[in-house]
Structure 1
């Protein structure tokens, strides 16, 4: 995985990732130097480094009344993440209580962007036995090029099977999965994932979006449709 992608996975914005990597590579630097190395406007560099200082991932020293910015040791970022995880775990009982109290309030949720899609896929791995995918698209691997390796590893660990109906050559063997195919003319960037009592309708665009419907009757209806298509599709 590219260094910039790793940092994004850890919560850095694209600009923050570029600044942090530039400081790692070139060491203590003025804002103007960072601007030249990253292509980010100098005025924006100050805003970005201020945010990163507050996060604890960048510091600075003063020389002749000028700020020289420095990246903290990457191990320090790991310490910060561990601290956040501990704080989250401490508050988890309270958050779960709030969630349980409001579970029936909303049956349809909308998700946008890569982080939103990850929420949808990680939900599929919780207390589940099988995932049905209608319309799996190779676009998924283009939008999330590194994510599915982790996703499949966790899915296999939890022994969750997946059945897939696709019009695309997915270009790879998917473990613990059975795939059947429809004619290529039916290929499109939309996929329907059916799991538990939920249906996730996913649009694999440059900025992916998903609509998740939590309703047992809806999920059962989609399952029946999937089984009909499964019998029609070719192995």
Structure 2
């Protein structure tokens, strides 16, 4: 993580970081000089400097008819980070008790399944994290999956510590592996379907009521996923899985 990425986390957008670095290098400067050094047009630089002044990372003083701005010492960024940390902590405390319940009431109460689509490694990582998050909140921490041979090497690419996190949370999983292979892991029971045509089966299906996640590979081995939030669908798939599990 570079300097710009760190500062972005604590409230400075990339253009503000460019201005701050330009001011550190040049010392006090006019808006025109700052804009030239940062490579940002003058009007935008003026607006960004006002925002940065409110954040406390730049200050100004009059020089003739113009304002000259200067960067606050880098140690000021630590104060900005601590303030941001405190705000996040306070917001986290309100999430479960107030914010999430209020936002949940805004969603229409319908009998339709709630369906979400995800694409790419970032999307798959969100789905895997959702599995852990959802199951960890349940009294019985367990879920079931169908895992096809063709997708295994792509599945945990964006989240290589997935199994470690699952075990840390005390989550059990039952796996029906389609095709040979698959690694043994703690808190996991595995059975196989040695299907000759398993190479054509390229999906990973996770059943974790009230949700069902289906991950597959599209053209160019790009992983895509569909998550269905429907107790009826998830429970039906759970019954099918349990029945098949007993026959293997």
Shorter-chain TM-score bucket reads: 0.5 to 0.7
1:109 aligns with 2:106: no
Give, in angstroms, the shift of residue 83 of structure 1: 1.9
- Kept in 1, the 8 Å contact 2:113–2:230? The answer is yes
- Relative to the length of structure 2, the TM-score reads 0.56
Among 185, 189, 202, which residue is 2:199 paired with? 185
Give, in angstroms, the shift of residue 176 of structure 1: 0.9
1:126 aligns with 2:137: yes
| RMSD of aligned Cα (Å) | 5.1
Among 192, 195, 199, which residue is 2:208 paired with? 195
1:163-184: per-residue Cα shift (whole Å, max 9, x none)? Answer: 12234745x5532112233455
User: Matches of 1:72 and 1:140 in 2, distance apart?
Assistant: 42
Among 77, 84, 89, which residue is 2:88 paired with? 84
User: Matches of 1:55 and 1:139 in 2, distance apart?
Assistant: 46
1:138-195: per-residue Cα shift (whole Å, max 9, x none)? Answer: 312113335x15xx43x4354321012234745x55321122334552441x321111
Q: Tell me the secondary structure at the aligned position of residue 175 of structure 1.
A: coil
Give, in angstroms, the shift of residue 198 of structure 1: 2.3
- Kept in 2, the 8 Å contact 1:143–1:206? The answer is no
1:109-147: per-residue Cα shift (whole Å, max 9, x none)? Answer: 30435364255222232214311011263312113335x
User: Matches of 1:157 and 1:75 in 2, distance apart?
Assistant: 34
Total equivalences in the alignment: 209
User: Matches of 2:231 and 2:244 in 1, distance apart?
Assistant: 21
State how 1:56-67 maps to structure 2 within 5 Å: 59=57
1:66-94: per-residue Cα shift (whole Å, max 9, x none)? Answer: 87796975785465234223124235433
Check 1:207–1:134 CA distance in 2 against 1; reply closer, same or farther (3 A cut).
closer
User: Matches of 1:215 and 1:73 in 2, distance apart?
Assistant: 47
User: Matches of 1:192 and 1:85 in 2, distance apart?
Assistant: 35
1:135 aligns with 2:147: yes
User: Matches of 2:52 and 2:224 in 1, distance apart?
Assistant: 31
In the other structure, the counterpart of 2:64 is: none
User: Matches of 2:99 and 2:52 in 1, distance apart?
Assistant: 29
Among 218, 233, 238, which residue is 1:223 paired with? 238
Q: Tell me the secondary structure at the aligned position of residue 201 of structure 1.
A: strand
